[in-house]
């Protein structure tokens, strides 16, 4: 946003085209050592008990090759975050939310830290996210 031409800085934000990413947290940080995520149907979760199946699931679940911070550094300002509160075997506490896309990814707390670190350094930037 800091590089917007002067004529765009006065426009309402809803008139701007904001670059975003689909399934922003579905990167190589998806963890195939954990069970299949609870956003998948029960038959897929049951098949995913086998590690070799989870490796295959990871291959089609990854949508991004960059971390959240790298996406922000590359100009992405709209993040599509799929969030879940995993079952007790995966989470450490009731507030241990994680990003998901067929598999469990990074902790939401860590993702927010990445966003905050970016915004702290880049004080004229904004970040939108949707759950």
> Which residues are CB-contacts of 61 (< 8 A; sequence separation ≥ 6)?
26, 30, 101, 102, 103
pLDDT score at 32 = 92
Give the range of the structural domain holding residue 112, as residue numbers without chain letter.
Answer: 6-130
The pLDDT, as a whole number, for residue 64 is 94
- Its pTM stands at 0.87
Residue 61, pLDDT above cutoff 90: yes
Other CB atoms closer than 10 Å to residue 18's CB: what's the count?
13
Any domain includes 50:
yes
The number of folded domains in the chain is 1
Does 8 score more than 90 pLDDT? no
Three-state SS across the chain? CCCCCHHHCCCCHHHCCCCEECCCCCCCCCEEEEEECCCCCHHHHHHCCCHHHHHHHHHHHCCCCCCHHHHHHCCCCEEECCEECCCCCCCCCCCCCEEEECEEEEEHHHHHHHHHHHHHHCCCCCCEEEC
pLDDT one-digit tens code per residue, 71-120: 999 999 999 999 999 988 888 888 899 999 999 999 999 999 999 999 99
Residue 99 lies in a domain: yes
% of residues, the chain, pLDDT over 90: 78
**12-36 mean pLDDT:** 92
Residue 124 lies in a domain: yes
pLDDT number for residue 82: 95
Average pLDDT value for the chain: 92
* Catalytic center residues: 22, 101
pLDDT tops 90 at residue 42: yes
CATH assignment at residue 116: 3.20.20.190
Is residue 83 within 8 Å of 97, Cβ to Cβ?
yes
**Within a domain: 1:** no
């Amino acid at each position: 946003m800091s590089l917007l031409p002067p004529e765009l800085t006065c426009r309402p934000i809803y008139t701007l085209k904001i670059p975003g990413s689909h399934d922003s947290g579905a990167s190589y940080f998806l963890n195939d050592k954990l069970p299949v995520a609870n956003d998948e149907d029960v038959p897929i979760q049951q098949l995913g008990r086998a590690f070799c199946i989870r490796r295959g699931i990871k291959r089609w679940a990854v949508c991004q090759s960059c971390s959240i911070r790298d996406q922000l550094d590359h100009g992405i300002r709209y993040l599509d975050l799929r969030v879940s509160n995993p079952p007790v075997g995966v989470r450490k506490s009731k507030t241990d939310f994680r990003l998901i896309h067929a598999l469990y990814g990074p902790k939401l707390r860590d993702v927010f830290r990445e966003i905050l670190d970016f915004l702290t350094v880049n004080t004229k930037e904004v970040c939108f996210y949707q759950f």
